[in-house]
Amino acid sequence: MENHNNRLTKRILSLSFIGIICSSVVFAQSENYVFNRKPLDQNVSVQLPLGSIKAKGWLLKQLEMQKDGATGMAEDLYPEDDNLGKNSDWLGGKGSGWERVPYYVKGLIALAYTLDDAGLKNKAQKYIDWTLNNQQANGLFGPPKMKDWWPRMPMMYALQSYYEATSDKRVIPFLTKYFKYELANLDADPLKEWGKSRAGDNMEIAIWLYNKTGDQFLLSLVEKLKNQAYPWTDIYSENQFFFYGDDFQPKHMVNVAQALKLPLVYAQANALPIYRTAMAKGIEHIMHDHGQPEGLGSGTEFLAGRSSTQGVETCTVVEWMQSLETAARVLSDANIGDQLEKVAFNALPAQFSHDFKNHTYYTLPNQVQGVWGEHGFNQDYASGIVSSPYSGYGCCRYNMHMGWPYYVKNSWVATPDGGLAIVSYGPMEVEALVGEHKKIKITEDTNYPFDEQIKLGLTLTSATDFPLSLRIPSWSIKPEIKLNGTVLKDVKAGEIYKIARTWNNGDQLELNFPMQIKSQQEVNNSVSIERGPMVYALEISSASKIIKEHSVKGFADYEIKPTSPWNYGLVLNNGAISKAIKIEKTVMPENPFDGIKTPIKLKLKAKRIPEWGMAYNNISAFDVPFSPVLSNEQEEEITLIPYGAESIRLSCFPTIGKPIKTVKNLDENFTNAMPLNWVFYGGGWYWKDGAVHSASNASSGGFGIHGSKIIATGTDFSDFTYQADVNVNTAGDAGLMFRVSDPAIGADAYKGYYVGINPISGNIEMGKASNQKWVVISSAKYPVKMNNNYKLKLVAKGNQFNVFLDGSEKAILSATDNEYGSGSIGLRTYNAQATFDSVKVKSL
């Protein structure tokens, strides 16, 4: 099955629109809204003013829960001077709020005006007023002592949204003055760290202001910001996330998600194709090396591979969504909306409790419990998967509030031909200007994505010519559109269907997007199950225990543990998966992301896998076993529910069958990319110049950075020769793993053997991980040098092991051990950066 991201890249430069043309009107750039001025790309859509789109149904319920939950109560939950307290420096006080206040206000403004809620508006207004009324004479704004470009960027988004909702006349001159200051001072005080990573945000607001004012200096500012930012276009296009050594910024997953928009923001000013394709190429690389079933890449906090027990940070989810929302205005491509919906309907609700009072800093595709403890992630927090208002590090508890409100406000856009386009679907109502400045209201009546049907009802005061562009999801089977009961022709999945005609009051469109159940291949040859834009996970019964009550009534920390089995493999019998699964539908509840009430459940056959259990730390499960897996257990019927409806979940499923692993020969030269079924546990691994490398772990804190390993999980060798090129680039040791089973994060979190070379000590050492302890079996001195390439060869036969280096006829090291008889091969470093190539294994 072709990956949607691959298809997106191929389509970027040859977008096609299929539709019916019932009017001969040719539209010049509309004056209904402010579109791109020349010399910017003239074919870019714009957001409707905040408040133009109102949520209904289940989507409204999410916003209302935010108001009553974490967003509405944030100032009570985080009242400290350095957070949202009355003494915040973003209110003129002595605190140090840095990014936290701007993050919060950005989401708060969007929620307040989407709900048209006076109380939330009042909460936001004090921050807006203080910011606008306390600009320095030179143009700088925000806390005077804050010497950082970055935190001002999310506050600019808040001001943009506020202006679009209120037309407050203070905003435009305020931003103009600030941008003049910024342009004049960036050379002396260039972007660094977070600002250098997230400059695309700054660029987007500068372009927005240019379209309002026409001030040419703003285009110079955009150019300067782009040149001072990390070279994200190259990073995405060439998979260079790990190319920066000890500088962690380009591999920090929130940065990666947030900067996805930068090349396309800049593409409005520079027509070179590379800027239009970089985002899609970047997503391809991320999903290939780090992809997770809920539609985005892992990052804890750095890019973390495809393991089912790696996590996704809440900030990553909302920033990935916003980047796609921006991209959808620049490129009218259906696949962008598909990707946005997949993240919004799966990853986003999974980060929150069902009442939006709590979040988890990280969520895992296979997260069978949510308890206090360390995983060994690159950035590890004992509370990282605990459901809490304070889970993990503080950034997410402030940034998360924009997720649903931004989804609503970006779901429809105004097109420069005087029309409207739907980016993403859901129950909503939109009021806008179309055609020759005519008002229209469109009601989007649907339970989508829980239903396949969407009805659009148009209300106009008079007949009006304008084009309406409808996104046809690429996953839809035989999609259908009816206009006033008449079936329209040439509706194709994965396209934008554009209807340009004279519209009348009372016109009705009926959209039917049939959803097929399908599987997607995941890590270790496992599968995830999808229906339309939604991913489904095992329904796990659970028990929640309050481990801490907070001073704000109704808020507490919870540990969540399973009370039903979770270690299932799917019985698919090589048949069509759609035939193996039954769909059960019930009445649509107010909140379909409450697992108890969710309206769609899937039923299918499965078997328990008794040997698959909790990992060594008893915090997470072992990674999903390589499929197929043999099981002699009885078949059972299991239930799957939406991924986002569960607080604990299993979404990467092994399949039941006769095991199929590589047992004879393996020849891996890492010619083009990271091979899919090499899975890393701890630290970071990446491909460059036809070799695989272990990454720098500078700025990492989790125990998993020690003994970082990458395992060819689809292999099983007993007696063999195994050789590879090994180059140790720093202090520490690196080498070959063999007869490995049950790998997890941690230096000795595996069963199996390792032989490594150390240029500092001049040692070759063979040992094993036994009961999570390193046991030296044998060692020898050898003059290993740093940054030299060595051919390290191992011959394993029964309990006898011989190690050779650089073609030596005589073994440099010999050893005997009986503990492990067979298993996978892999590569490992211990406190080192190293390069590996030319892996060859031959069974004896």
CA 702 from centroid of its chain's CA atoms: 21
Across the chain, what does the average pLDDT equal?
A: 95
* Contact (Cβ atoms closer than 8 angstroms) between residue 724 and residue 829: no
Domain count, the chain: 4
| Tens-place pLDDT, residues 407-432 | 999 999 999 999 999 999 999 999 99
Decide if 323 is inside a domain: no
Find the Cα–Cα–Cα–Cα dihedral 590, 594, 600, 604, rounded to 10°.
Answer: -170
Structural domain contains residue 594: yes
Are residues 685 and 631 both part of a single domain? no
Give the residue carrying structure tokens 């259908």. Answer: 480
Domain end point (choices 591, 619, 650): 650
* 682 domain residue, yes or no: yes
pLDDT of residue 7: 45
CATH number assigned to the domain comprising residue 490: 2.60.40.1180
Distance CA 432, CA 446 (A): 20
CATH for 816: 2.60.120.560
**Range in 24-38, 259-273, 556-570, 748-762 the model is least confident about:** 24-38
Question: Which single residue is written with the structure tokens 């090499």?
Answer: 678
Stretch (H or E) spanning 264: helix 262-267
Q: What's the distance, Cα to Cα, between the start and end of the chain in Å? A: 36
Burial class (CB in 10 A: 0-12, 13-18, 19+), 756: buried
Helices (H), 690-788: none
**Does residue 746 surpass a pLDDT of 60?**
yes
Give the model confidence (pLDDT) of 597-641 as tens digits.
Answer: 999 999 999 999 999 999 999 999 999 999 999 999 999 999 999
Q: Mean pLDDT lowest for which of 212-216, 264-268, 671-675?
A: 671-675
Which range marks the domain in which residue 715 is found? 665-843
Query: How do beta strands 834-843 and 362-363 pair?
Result: unpaired
Backbone angles phi, psi at 155, to 5 degrees: -70, -30
509 vs 60: CA distance, rounded Å:
22
Nearest 5°: phi and psi at 625? Answer: -65, 155
Angle between helices 100-115 and 118-133 (to 10 degrees): 140
Let me know whether 727 and 770 are in one domain.
yes
Whether residues 831 and 749 fall in one domain? yes
Residue finishing a domain among 176, 211, 229: 229
Residue 508 and residue 612 in one domain: no
Please indicate, yes or no, whether residues 183 and 205 belong to a single structural domain of this protein.
yes
Could you tell me if 488 and 535 lie in one domain? Answer: no
Q: Is the pLDDT of residue 170 over 80?
A: yes
Task: Name the burial class of residue 826, with classes exposed (0-12), middle (13-18) and buried (19+) by CB atoms within 10 angstroms of its CB.
Answer: buried
Structure-token pair, residue 101: 């206040």
Answer yes or no: are the C-beta atoms of 51 and 165 closer than 8 Å: yes
Q: Which helix (H) or strand (E) is 457 found in, with range?
A: strand 453-460
pLDDT at 8: 47
Summarize pLDDT for 502-515 with one digit per residue, the tens: 999 999 999 999 99
CA dist 308 and 293 (Å) reads: 9
CB environment 81-103: b (16+ within 10 A), e (fewer): bbbbbeebbbbebebebbbbbbb
Max Cα-Cα span within the chain: 92
Instruction: State pLDDT tens for residues 434-455.
Output: 999 999 999 999 999 999 999 9
Rounded CA separation 351/135 (Å):
36
Residue 832 located in a structural domain: yes
Element (H, E) at 484: none
Q: How far apart are CA 741 and CA 807, in angstroms?
A: 29
What is the pLDDT, as a whole number, of residue 663?
86
Any domain includes 153: yes
In terms of domains, do 192 and 106 share one? yes
437's torsion region: left (phi>0), alpha (psi -120 to 50) or beta?
left
Please choose, from the candidates 114, 746, 752, 832, the residue with its C-alpha nearest in 3D space to the C-alpha of residue 430: 114
Q: pLDDT tens digit string along 692-713?
A: 999 999 988 888 899 999 999 9
Tell me: do 673 and 632 sit in the same domain. no
What's the full length of the chain, in residues?
A: 844
130 part of a folded domain: yes
Which of these three, 208, 229, 250, is where a domain ends?
A: 229
Q: Are 114 and 165 part of one and the same domain?
A: yes
Asked if the model's pLDDT at residue 24 lies above 60, the reply is no
Residues 626, 657: contact at Cβ < 8 Å? no
| pLDDT tens digits, 769-819 | 999 999 999 999 999 999 999 999 999 999 999 999 999 999 999 999 999
- Give domain status of residue 341, yes or no: no
Task: Please name the amino acid found at residue 654.
Answer: P
**What is the distance between the alpha carbons of residues 375 and 362, in angstroms, rounded to a whole number?**
11
Rounded Cα distance, 340 and 775, in Å = 48
pTM of the predicted model as reported, rounded to 2 decimal places: 0.96
Does residue 384 lie within any of the structural domains?
no
Query: What is the predicted pLDDT for the residue at 23?
Result: 32
Query: Do residues 645 and 719 both lie within one domain?
Result: no
For residue 170, give the 3-state DSSP assignment: coil
Same domain, 425 and 457: yes
What pLDDT does residue 26 have? 42
Q: How far apart are CA 550 and CA 663, in angstroms?
A: 55
In this prediction, residue 335 carries a pLDDT of: 97
Region 730-752: mean pLDDT is 97
- Provide CB contacts within 8 A for 575, sequence distance 6+: none
Contact 70, 359 (CB under 8 A): yes
Position 577 scores a pLDDT of 86
* Percentage of the chain modeled with pLDDT above 70: 97
Same domain, 618 and 476: no
pLDDT tops 70 at residue 148 = yes
Report pLDDT for 702: 87
- Judged by DSSP in three states, 613 sits in coil
**pLDDT, mean of residues 173-201:** 98
Q: Are 413 and 574 within 8 A, CB to CB?
A: no
811 close to 802: Cβ distance less than 8 angstroms: yes
